[in-house]
A and B are shown apart, each in its own frame.
Chain A
Amino acid sequence: MAGMSSSPSSGADLLRRILRQHRTTLVFSALLLSCWTAGEALVPGVVGATIDTAIATPDAGRLALWLGALVLTFVMLSYGYRFGARISNVVVQKETHRLRTLVADRALDARGTITPRPAGEVAALASSDADVAAGVVRQFVFGVSAALGLLVCAGYLLLTQLWLGLLVLALVPLGLLALRLLTPTLTRRTGEHQEQVAAASASVADLLHGAPVLRGIGAEAEAARWFALRSQAAASAAIRAAGPAGRLDAFSTVVSGLVLAAVAGVGGWLVVEGRLSPGDLIGILGVTAFLATPISTLTALAEGWARSRASAQRLETFLREEPARRGTERPTPDPAAPLRLGWSPVAVAADERGATAAPASPDAPGTVRAAGGRFTAIVCADAGLPSRWDESFHAADGRATVSVAGAVWDAVDPTHAPAILQASPHTPHFFLGTVHHNVSHGEDVDPSVWDAAGSSELIAGWEQGQRHGLDEGGGNLSGGQRQRLALARALASPPVPRILVDPTTAVDSVTQARIAEGLLAWRRGRGCGDTLALFTSSPALAGAADDVAFVPHHGATIYGRHHDLMQRDDYREAVGR
């Protein structure tokens, strides 16, 4: 991911914030886990002591005592792990959930992001990156418990034989320091690997989205080959990352092994010199052998931190992305507000829009008025204009402008926007779920909406009616069905001024006429209150409208009624077929 704007430390900051937030819980969990490591460390010592004092010179009473101690040690380590790990896991799960929610919130924020990102990439941020970043909690608690485990070991060793204890305490930090030197290479490799995995996921989402197109032209195999390239790139990156990861493992084996060998050597010498009993050596070697576990936990810490930081970095970059829409005004909602639509062939920067969207003359070329509370059909001589307007408006590229009762749309707070104006994109998206959910997102739907959208028969034709399930993207709907449900969705919302762009192009002419009638009945039923501006070239819809705004090839918009405008040749051509 080139061109990251945030500073390199911000990933680490995110991780530190996570740890700070759960400080108390994590310290508690780390203490419990330390009971576990301490217990694990003490088991060989207790076993050694049992053999030394109760078995070498058989004594049943002492045996019972030491076995009791052994059982207690096991109880401590077992419950310490059980509850310590559970508590930290709850924190991990909560944090992962929080990060996922943050990603979803940022991704769905009405203000948008400046750089659009593929859905698959955002999904990867919300799943794998959130997981890996929250893993820092595990690194912390297990790191602390490993460090305390090391201390217990060192204490045992210092008490049993001072010089041996000092030896261990000198060797372990040296080894860890050496391991740190290896970490930077690994960070780069794992980062690369994770990016390749994200690219492969993004590719899957993209290809599956376009699967119907692929099937129509027999390009399934070719698309699968595209994916295969991505997938193999991810696999190769994983293989490349295995080298440095393996090196780190190997190094950790060597470090813990060398400590053990050194202790065995010095300890053996001390026994030969008669300054240490063979029984003590057994205990010391057992404890030192256990050292491998906390040491490898501590070295894995470097790898884990690197991975978590790489993920946290990606999360931070995404979460701090600049918003694309920055309006702040919150005008009072008015369903009957008059609208003015405008378009310009060149993009206008967001800062300048306030100025340009209020041209001197309201009837300048390139603007259309829709009177408050009325149904205005906008018919364009340039047949490409509505879709260009639609695309520019939704891309917020500054070429399409709207003002609602004088308020410039770009200056309106995006979170407040749906209450001011509803402009649904011409190409509707459907979500996995029922028809009812897709049309009203769970709210009740006024029955007249279904008639107005020409969808009553459609609903009646499904076994489960409004509870009929839709695929993601509405894959199981025909073009006409999609348009009619999209229209129902546009009309089902609470009263608000609406802009619709070519809502009936995939619908046959008889149904179009029925929709025009239904729309009128629906408006009558509502008391005619809402402003409705509708781009269309359908004579049925234009005929049903209160006003028609005709945008000719040159000059200002002409207003009138459908049958009057029909006198004009260019208008006839625009609604003719």
Chain B
Amino acid sequence: MSAPHAPAPLEENSGESPQALPVASYRAAWRLLVPHLGRRRGGLVLAVAVSLCASACAVVPSLAIGALVDALAARGGMPAVWWAVAAMVLGLLLAALFGWWGRVLWARVAEPAVAGLREEVVDAALGLEAGHSGAGGRGDLVARVSDDARLVAGAVAELLPTVVGAASLLVVSLPTLFTLHWALGLVVLVAVPLYAGSLRWYLPRSEPLYERERERLGRRTGRLVGALQGQAALRSHGWGERERSRIERASEQSRDAGIDVFRMLTGFFARNNRAECVVMVLLLVVGFLLVSSGWASVGAVTAAALLFHRLFDPLSALVVLFDVVQEAGIALRRLAGVLTLPRPARSVRLPSAGRRGAAPLGAGGDTPEADGVRGLRASVTSHRYPGGGEVLTGVELCLVAGERVALVGSTGAGKSTLAGIVAGTLTPTEGNAAVMAQTESGVLDVPMGELETPGLRRAVCLVEQRTHIFAGSLRQNLLLGVPAARRDDDECSRALQSAGAAWVAELPEGLETTVGEGGRGLSAVQEQQLALARVMLIDPAFVVLDEATAEAGSAGARALDRAAEEAVRGRGALVVAHRLSQARDADRIAVMEQGRIVEQGTHDELLALRGSYAKLWEAWAGR
């Protein structure tokens, strides 16, 4: 046996997978959000209108003060004061009411829009093939769907109201400044290049910092989630301490990124203060020149200074918004990045066979779609996973309806990969897999990647060694993927009975028992029994069982064997098995070695061949 490669010296980020999930471009990300906002166009228009009203009302108090100062300078009496106060009170009451309403309206637009986007991302993430979804770690995905989505939701809810508010204040104030004196108006315009310069300094510097911050946050969450899920392993190996320090390091990096980002932000604010200061000083100097030359009144200069001072807040709000936009933009791009991963366009429906040539009643299933499935075909020139060598080379495998084929061979021969390809959950790097469907004009190969999911799963289902019980009721878990027509209680209990899961009926709450994380724990055998019962309910034309009965260990293997037997009854099957007793009775046994099928035949034929299978059998029998 060759010595394994010695590990290279480990650097700080040892154990980090090099591939990460992609990040979409701004344009692509925006294109993904717009439809979700567009769906709520009416609400959006109303929210903009209400925000506009709120800002318009918010300007009233400043204008009223201006009018009051003018009136008092012109020796006006108490009526002017009353009018001003009344206008102020009315304006602020309306502004408050509109603001309140606007906030609710914006939440109604933004939250569902972001929820929609978030759901779209989860939908896409669930459809990712093995090897793509995991590349950046599940934690990264979780971080994107929770943290990043929260940022985007907050930004959408904050962005537009602030833009509308600030813009309407500017719209009201700037013309007023020019009417006071054109020179005063021009001085205030000097603010534009100053603020622009500040943005030009800030944006390019902060973007990489924000990206780093988000990325570290994703890693931080990923490490924690990974450690939580592998707690039992950490505990038994005493790795808890080291894993904790790894998590702590990730958290430290995230903390440092947060500190750097904020330093940059305060530098940006300081530049904005500088702009305010320069313009205010200029305004007073110009005012001094105007007044001392007699070109403008003291009142005009006063009003201009007050108006510009009133603009400090909306202006900096507007500028800070670029920051929100940038941070949320990165979050949005990360969300959208998940959607840019290639997904097969599953649009082709399984051709209906019509009644002609339907399988005998009771076999194969009673949906017309399943009737039309004549076989499965995989022809793989080559398959490799990212970062790995070739797993399959020149493999052809064809299953016909009702046929039971066993796939055996040493570990790592590529059995699971072939099983995944035959079941349509993996796309071969080179080659193709197809469902052979009966149509009016004969048997047609429909590529699996193009077949819509319900049709594909009516044709073939995959049960793997690894199970997962989702947080929810037993019923929810059992009925996952089961067509609506087969969801009644009789069908369920029949399937559970066949799968040997009579224990469900004995639970006090039966099918309503809460299972999965935070619920009742199930044994590996029970989990697999549920998975097999589920496949019986889905009732596909073919099943692929990839070591479906192995995880239970030798324990309960026999009970599961019987369940698997039931699941296979009446349909075609590809069974990957290490326990050769499962293979012995198959119609055909395919033996794999190093990514190829090396022998095919019945048990007796293969024993007579005295090749790989005979060797496996001998070792299996153990005598």
Contact = CB atoms under 8 A, between A and B. Distances in A.
A82 B273 CA distance: 10
Interface stretch (B99-107, B188-196, B359-367): B99-107
Interface in A425-466: 425-434, 436-438, 441-442, 444, 447, 450-451, 454-466
A4 interface: no
Given A86-B262, A471-B135, A388 B518 contact: no
A55 B284 CA distance: 8
B411 A211 contact: no
B119 interface: yes
Contacts of B305: 47, 51
A107 interface: yes
B367 to A, nearest CB: 13
Interface in B554-568: 554-559
Interface stretch (B61-69, B394-402, B490-498, B600-608): B61-69
A424 B237 contact: yes
A110 interface: yes
A362 interface: no
Nearest to A122: B228
Query: Which of A204, A226, A539 lies at the interface centre, i.e. has the most chain B CB atoms within 10 A of its CB?
Result: A204
Contacts of A227: 119, 122
Contact of A479 (B18, B100, B267, B551): B551
A67 B288 CA distance: 11
Interface stretch (B27-35, B82-90, B348-356): B82-90
Question: Which interface class (under 10, 10 to 19, 20 to 34, 35 or more) fits B?
Answer: 35 or more
Given A54-B288, A510-B615, A208 B88 contact: no
Contacts of B617: 509
Given A208-B138, A234-B115, A384 B555 contact: yes
A51 B15 contact: no
Interface stretch (A238-246, A335-343, A368-376): A238-246
B111 A282 contact: no
Contact of A510 (B5, B135, B616): B616
A291 B59 CA distance: 16
Interface string B429-441: 0000000000000
Contact of B126 (A107, A220, A438, A457): A220
Contacts of B569: none
B38 interface: no
Contacts of B277: 70-71, 74, 78
Contacts of A224: 119, 122-123, 126
Given A254-B93, A257-B89, A269-B81, A478 B415 contact: yes
A476 B138 CA distance: 13
B222 interface: yes
Interface in B29-63: 58, 61-62
Given A51-B287, A232-B115, A271 B1 contact: no
Contacts of A214: 126, 480-481
Secondary structure at the B interface, as helix, strand, loop or mixed, is: helix
Contacts of B119: 224, 227-228, 231
Nearest to B263: A86
Interface string B113-128: 0110011001101111
A272 interface: yes
Given A214-B480, A261-B61, A508-B410, A432 B579 contact: no
Nearest to B456: A218
A252 B142 CA distance: 37
A501 interface: yes
Contacts of A471: 17, 130-131, 133-135, 137-138
Pick from A105, A118, A535 the residue with the most CB of B within 10 Å. Answer: A118
Interface stretch (B168-176, B369-377, B460-468): B460-468
B234 to A, nearest CB: 6
B324 to A, nearest CB: 16
B238 A419 contact: yes
A166 interface: no
Contacts of A25: none
B306 A286 contact: yes
A86 B266 contact: yes
Contacts of B388: 461-463, 468, 476
Contacts of A222: 480-481
A489 interface: yes
Interface in B217-261: 217, 220-240, 242-244, 247-248, 251-252, 254-256, 258-259
A62 to B, nearest CB: 10
B65 A264 contact: yes
A384 B525 contact: yes
Contacts of A467: 5, 7-8
A511 B4 contact: no
Contacts of A540: 619, 622
A116 B231 CA distance: 11
B99 A221 contact: no
Contacts of B7: 434, 436, 444, 465-467
A148 interface: no
B468 A457 contact: no
Interface string A43-58: 1100110110011101
Contacts of A226: 470, 472, 476
Contacts, number: 625
Interface stretch (A91-99, A167-175, A310-318, A346-354): A91-99
B130 A206 contact: no
B505 interface: no
B4 A465 contact: yes
A431 B230 contact: yes
Interface residues of A, number: 200
B14 A433 contact: yes
A446 to B, nearest CB: 11
A243 B104 CA distance: 6
Contact of B68 (A211, A264, A432, A450): A264
B126 A268 contact: no
B244 A285 contact: no
A222 to B, nearest CB: 6
A268 B81 contact: yes
Nearest to A120: B142
B471 interface: yes
A262 B101 CA distance: 26
Given A216-B464, A226-B472, A450 B4 contact: yes
B299 to A, nearest CB: 9
B98 to A, nearest CB: 9
Interface in A88-113: 89-90, 93-94, 96-97, 100-101, 104-105, 107-110
A264 B88 contact: yes
B127 A215 contact: yes
Contacts of B334: none
Contact of B270 (A78, A513, A538): A78
A204 B581 CA distance: 39
Contacts of A364: none
A70 B17 contact: no
B462 A82 contact: no
B485 interface: no
B301 interface: yes
Nearest to A507: B411
A250 B558 CA distance: 69
Interface string B309-349: 11001000000000000000000000000000000000000
A434 B310 CA distance: 58
A104 B273 contact: no
Nearest to B157: A242
A431 B226 contact: yes
Contacts of A67: 281, 284-285
Given A213-B464, A226-B470, A394-B232, 11 more contacts: A107-B228, A116-B518, A117-B517, A217-B463, A217-B481, A264-B81, A272-B81, A419-B238, A471-B134, A481-B411, A505-B552
10 contacts: A60-B288, A63-B284, A81-B269, A119-B224, A217-B457, A242-B107, A271-B72, A383-B558, A433-B14, A478-B411
A-B residue pairs, 5 tightest by C-beta: A418-B238, A465-B5, A471-B134, A433-B15, A218-B457
